[in-house]
């Protein structure tokens, strides 16, 4: 017997054997090979040869017990975009596979140094939670972990049993309803696989599930409301109005298996996703409201101005600012202080936390600070002739923005320019800064062209250009 994958100095075949995969009504005979770093799925043996169907790195897998009629012989196995019920020939074989998989999946995740991505969580049918929240998730966080992290940020007390009252769903961005996650999945892997499947990663980087290998980690922070792959937190017992709405849906609507949720390239609009009206702004509230409400007199409120001054002062001395993830709890605490109007002692705050909260503020500005109505024009300006023509084009667009937007951009790019001037020590060049900040400040609910990858490249180039030419664009007294 042979496969096309051989062992190597860092790869050992641990166990192999037949299995039946079931998804929905479809059943398939397969043969599994468990190596020390991956699971190989092949067809059943034919003429002593196995044809490889899937190679799944163990650090992307998850596993849980099965609750169907064959539970004694079955496990649920999943990796980012699919899940199967795997039924073995005996309960003893199932336990052998269960033990080996659990051990080596955990070892693989431990060896894979911690990685994290920002993830936006939308809510549905949760009172007083109209705005999405942003949190940082790691490659080892499960769906249940995400729920537990999200509840305090939504002002929901995490008491015994309350976590089980909520469920995380995944929306495909299409008209089909979102689908629930079981609880053992890894949203990090789901998001990374979705980015690859929807061509948000450059061609030469596809196949990687690690943002640390990417030169464009900004792709992980896409704030666009029209994006597929949204995560939606809902109560397990929906509101009466929602139950009636669900009951009225077409009975013939096509359903898809859990987790294998339409990782398909397809244009979508905001109305296909989780969109809702934001509540009236509260006095002193910064997040999730329009910039006009934040800056009623066209000047920045003290908390926002203090945050930018703090980053302008401390940022140049901080390695990896805007790139390195900060503590979720600390970010949530600072955001709550800012949103409630509580006085902040900036000397007690981490620079990385303040930078993360500032990005979150920009992501939540309605219509974006650059104005989504001018989105296509902003992308086009970077293609204009020489440096002087680009600067003129940028200044022309700035003249079309509300004064508060221009004031905020002036403060922001002043700080970014100052940080870039010290890139030899903080490692944040204009390019690196633009990679990290561009998705938060320049976005639109509609795409300008089919080439989304090209749009993202233009965004980086534009923000990088503004950082480098900040003094010429905004004036030397910035």
125 with 96, same domain?
A: no
Q: What are phi and psi of 470, to 5 degrees?
A: -55, -45
pLDDT of residue 222: 45
The residue among 272, 302, 326 that closes a domain is 272
| pLDDT-above-90 percentage for the chain | 27
Can you give the residue range of the structural domain that contains 102?
A: 13-111
Q: How many helices (DSSP H) and strands (DSSP E) are in the chain?
A: 15, 12
Residue 204 lies in a domain: yes
Q: Is the pLDDT of residue 42 over 60?
A: yes
Q: Are residues 176 and 256 in the same domain?
A: yes
At residue 7's C-alpha, the angle toward residues 6 and 13, to 5°, is 110
Q: So what's the pLDDT on residue 169?
A: 85
We report the CATH number of the domain holding residue 365 as: 1.10.555.10
pLDDT at 24: 67
How would residue 7 be classed by pLDDT, with cut points 50, 70 and 90? Answer: low
- The radius of gyration of the chain's CA atoms, rounded to the nearest angstrom, is 24
Nearest to 135, CA basis, from 155, 156, 153: 153
Torsion of CA 175, 176, 181, 182, to 10 degrees: 170
Q: In what order do the strands lie in the sheet with 230-235?
A: 133-138, 116-123, 230-235, 166-171, 179-180
208 in a domain, yes or no?
A: yes
Whole-number average pLDDT of the chain: 76
Instruction: Give the mean pLDDT of 69-85.
Output: 78
Q: Which of 80, 111, 142 is a domain's end point?
A: 111
230 forms beta bridges with 171
Which residues make Cβ contacts (< 8 Å) with residue 427, sequence separation at least 6?
A: 319, 320
On whether residue 282 sits in a domain, the answer given is no
Co-location of 261 and 297 in the same domain: no
The residues facing 84 across adjacent strands are 77
5, part of any domain: no
Same-domain status, 52 and 137: no
CA 405 to chain centre: 26
- Residue 7 within any structural domain of the chain: no
Q: Could you tell me the pTM of the whole model?
A: 0.47
Q: In which residue are the tokens 């976590």 written?
A: 163
- Length of the chain equals 478
Q: What is the pLDDT of residue 109?
A: 79
Regarding whether 316 and 244 lie in a shared domain, the answer is no
| Residue 117 pLDDT | 79
Same domain, yes or no, for 107 and 122? no
Provide the pLDDT for residue 132. Answer: 77
pLDDT tens-digit map of 225-261? 344 568 888 887 654 434 444 444 444 444 333 333 3
Q: Which carries the bigger pLDDT value, residue 425 or residue 165?
A: 425
User: Looking at residue 218, what is its pLDDT?
Assistant: 45
Which residues have C-beta within 8 Å of that of residue 424, sequence separation ≥ 6? none
pLDDT at 321: 93
Please check whether residues 122 and 107 belong to one and the same domain.
no
Number of domains in the chain: 3
Is residue 1 assigned to a domain?
A: no
Distance of CA 11 to the CA centre of its chain: 31
pLDDT tens digits along 119-166: 888 888 777 666 778 888 887 788 888 888 888 887 777 664 567 788
Q: Could you say which of 91, 111, 131 is where a domain stops? A: 111
pLDDT bracket for residue 62 (50, 70, 90)? confident
62: in domain:
yes
Regarding whether 197 and 145 lie in a shared domain, the answer is yes
Q: What confidence score (pLDDT) does residue 108 get? A: 84
Tell me the three state secondary structure of residue 166: strand
Tell me the average pLDDT across 75-91: 83
Q: Which two tokens stand for residue 122?
A: 């939308």
Is residue 84 domain-shared with residue 157, that is, in the same domain? no
Q: What is the pLDDT of residues 369-379, one digit of tens each?
A: 999 889 899 99
Q: How confident is the model at residue 56 (pLDDT cuts 50, 70, 90)?
A: confident
Predicted confidence (pLDDT) per residue in 159-208, tens digit: 645 677 888 888 655 445 567 787 878 888 887 776 655 544 444 444 44
Q: For the segment 463-477, what is each residue's pLDDT rounded down to a tens digit? A: 999 999 999 999 876
């Amino acid at each position: 017997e042979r496969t096309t994958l051989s062992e190597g100095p860092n790869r050992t075949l641990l166990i192999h054997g037949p299995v039946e995969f079931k998804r929905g009504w479809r059943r398939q005979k397969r043969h599994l090979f468990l190596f020390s770093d991956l699971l190989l799925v092949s067809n059943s043996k034919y003429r002593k040869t196995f044809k490889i169907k899937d190679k799944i790195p163990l650090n992307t897998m998850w596993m849980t017990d099965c609750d169907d009629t064959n539970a004694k012989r079955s496990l649920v196995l999943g990796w980012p975009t699919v899940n199967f019920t795997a039924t073995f020939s005996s309960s003893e074989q199932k336990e052998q596979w269960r033990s080996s998989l659990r051990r080596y999946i955990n070892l693989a995740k431990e060896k894979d140094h911690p990685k994290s991505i920002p993830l936006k969580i939308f809510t549905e049918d949760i009172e007083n939670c109209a705005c999405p929240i942003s949190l940082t998730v790691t490659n080892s966080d499960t769906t249940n972990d995400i729920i537990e992290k999200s509840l305090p940020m939504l002002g929901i007390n995490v008491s015994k049993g309350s976590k089980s009252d909520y469920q995380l769903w995944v929306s495909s961005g299409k008209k089909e309803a979102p689908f629930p996650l079981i609880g053992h999945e890894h949203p990090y892997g789901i998001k990374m696989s979705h980015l690859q499947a929807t061509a948000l990663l450059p061609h030469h980087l596809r196949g990687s599930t690690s943002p640390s290998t990417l030169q464009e980690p900004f792709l992980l922070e896409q704030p666009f409301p029209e994006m597929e792959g949204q995560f939606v937190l809902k109560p397990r017992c929906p509101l009466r109005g929602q139950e009636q709405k669900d009951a009225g849906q077409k009975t013939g609507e096509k359903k898809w298996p859990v987790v294998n949720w339409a990782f398909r390239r397809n244009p979508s609009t905001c109305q296909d996703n989780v969109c809702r009206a934001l509540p009236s702004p509260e006095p002193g509230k910064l997040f999730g409201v329009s910039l006009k409400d934040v800056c009623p007199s066209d000047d920045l409120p003290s908390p926002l101005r203090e945050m930018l001054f703090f980053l302008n002062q401390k940022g140049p001395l901080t390695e990896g600012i805007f790139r390195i993830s900060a503590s979720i709890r600390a970010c949530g605490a600072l955001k709550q202080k800012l949103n409630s109007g509580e006085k902040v002692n900036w000397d007690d705050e981490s620079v990385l936390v303040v930078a993360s909260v500032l990005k979150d503020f920009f992501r939540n500005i309605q219509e974006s600070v650059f104005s989504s109505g001018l989105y296509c024009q902003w992308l086009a300006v970077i293609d204009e002739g020489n440096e002087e023509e680009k600067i003129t084009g940028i200044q022309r667009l700035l003249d079309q923005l509300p004064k508060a937007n221009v004031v905020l951009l002036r403060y922001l790019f002043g700080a970014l320019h100052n940080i870039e001037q010290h890139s030899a020590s903080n490692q944040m060049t204009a390019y690196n800064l633009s990679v990290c900040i561009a998705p938060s400040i320049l976005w639109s609910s509609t795409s300008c062209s089919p080439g989304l990858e090209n749009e993202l490249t233009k965004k980086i180039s534009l923000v990088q250009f503004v950082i480098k030419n900040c003094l010429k664009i905004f004036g030397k007294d910035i």
